[in-house]
Amino acid sequence: MVLSLWRKIRRTGRVAEPAPPPPDAAAGPAVAELAGSVQIRHVDAGSCNGCEVEIGSAFGPVYDAERYGARLVAAPRHADALLVTGPVTRNMAVALRRTYEATPEPKVVVAVGDCARDCGVFAGSYGVAGAVRDVVPVDVEISGCPPRPEAIVAALRSLTGR
């Protein structure tokens, strides 16, 4: 039984899709220093959670961002990068700033989704302090409402270079 299974595997050979071409490296010296792998702290600064669903997919078994060296961690002290979603609400602005300050250098901030980039559909809302770049420096932006998992994985690959 085991032998016939092994023979079948040998006959079938490799069936996986070939690896995609290497990503374009994102600009900035901090990005160059992170090449290879990146530990990521996700911060929801006021998202509707649509972006979180897509981040979940990006790290799920289909898109599997971890195979490119991207990994989610639970604390900013263990992170190289912040993955920020949503417009920054007034009650999250200080928390985002403190999370940024708690992340060791070199560090990168990735703004995920249209709300993170320019407040999106929440622009002008009384509860919104601004876009992510209004609170902390942003290195990489991912557009979309929400962005597709492929776009999130591509942006993370631009950090790891894998």
* Among the listed residues 102, 110, 106, 66, the one whose alpha carbon sits nearest the alpha carbon of residue 84: 110
Our finding on whether 146 is near ligand SF4 (CB under 6 A) is yes
- How many residues appear in the chain? 162
Residue 1, classified by CB atoms within 10 Å of its CB into exposed (0-12), middle (13-18) or buried (19+), is: exposed
Our finding on whether 149 is near ligand SF4 (CB under 6 A) is no
Our finding on whether 86 is near ligand SF4 (CB under 6 A) is yes
Which residues inside 24-63 make contact with ligand SF4, applying CB under 6 A?
47-48, 50-51
Stretch that binds ligand SF4, among 27-35, 70-78, 99-107, 112-120 (CB under 6 A): 112-120
- Residue located via tokens 């920020």: 84
- Nearer to ligand SF4 by Cβ, of 114 and 139: the residue is 114
Distance of alpha carbon 148 from alpha carbon 54, whole angstroms: 6
Q: State the residues that interact with ligand SF4 by CB under 6 A.
A: 47-48, 50-51, 85-86, 113-115, 120-121, 145-146
